[in-house]
A = this chain, B = another copy of it.
Amino acid sequence: MIVLFTDFGLEGPYTGQVQAVLYQQAPGIPVISLFSDLAPFDIQAAAYLLPAYAAGFPPGSVFACVVDPGVGGDRPGAVIKADGRWYVGPDEGVFAILTRRARHVECWRLPPPATASPSFHGRDVFAPLAARLARDGRFGAGSVACTADARPEWPDELQRVVYIDRYGNAITGMRAAVLDDSATLRVNGHALQRATTFTDAQPGAAFWYANSSGLVEIAVNRGRADRLLDIAVGTPFELP
């Protein structure tokens, strides 16, 4: 299947235009929107979400990963094969954490596109590439082996909020497996304890937990953590 991981939005034209390319060039292959509302321009936030949310997809899945503030400039495009899944997109760091954690990684750099809108490589470059990978399991010549932009300055675990979901829960860039059950998380002056799930907390109470994709998430039972704790994408937290 082809998986969209973008900041395009679903209701406007961009995801539909990408889907039109995919359905024409990879007929019969399901297209799923995993994230279409990544924080605009925030490549680092996307980079920490990608390995956590890609892990549940089957081998051969093709991810179109497009958070692309540098579109039309000289930032390179890449194809990554990591642990049996394919990823395509502009290579400004979105693959850094994925490739750091993967057991087997291959990477190819794309040549500058001959013809493409200078503002929509998602439609004109990466969608055709994703369609070909999903259809044929390989892509065209003209690419050279590379190493994905590795962002060595980025930490293994990112202590900030990377996504706010529809319930107001705050997903962070830290994996829950690295924390003890007794760890206290401090955000905006609030000290939060760990819970297993929502109903372990009192209604209206804030807590942290290991979310269903393995990341540390800040939540409130039957309430909105973003409003109660005044947090947004980018808000840092501490582990005193």
B-binding residues in A (CB < 8 A): 1, 3, 7-17, 19-20, 23-24, 27, 30, 32-37, 40-41, 53, 56-58, 69-73, 117-120, 123-124, 163, 165-167, 196-200, 209, 211-213, 221-222
Instruction: Tell me which of B11, B40, B165 contacts A33 (CB under 8 A).
Output: B11
A70: shortest Cβ distance to chain B, in Å? 6
**Most chain B C-beta atoms within 10 Å of own C-beta, residue among A34, A41, A58, A200:** A34
* Contact partner, A119, options B23, B72, B123, B198, Cβ 8 Å: B198
C-alpha spacing A123/B20, complex, angstroms: 22
In Å, the complex CA distance between A24 and B163 comes to 26
A-B contacts, 9 listed (Cβ < 8 Å): A3-B16, A3-B20, A9-B166, A11-B33, A11-B35, A13-B213, A16-B34, A24-B58, A124-B212
> When chains A and B are docked, how far (Å) is the Cα of A33 from the Cα of B16?
5
| Contact in complex: A14, B197 (CB < 8 Å) | no
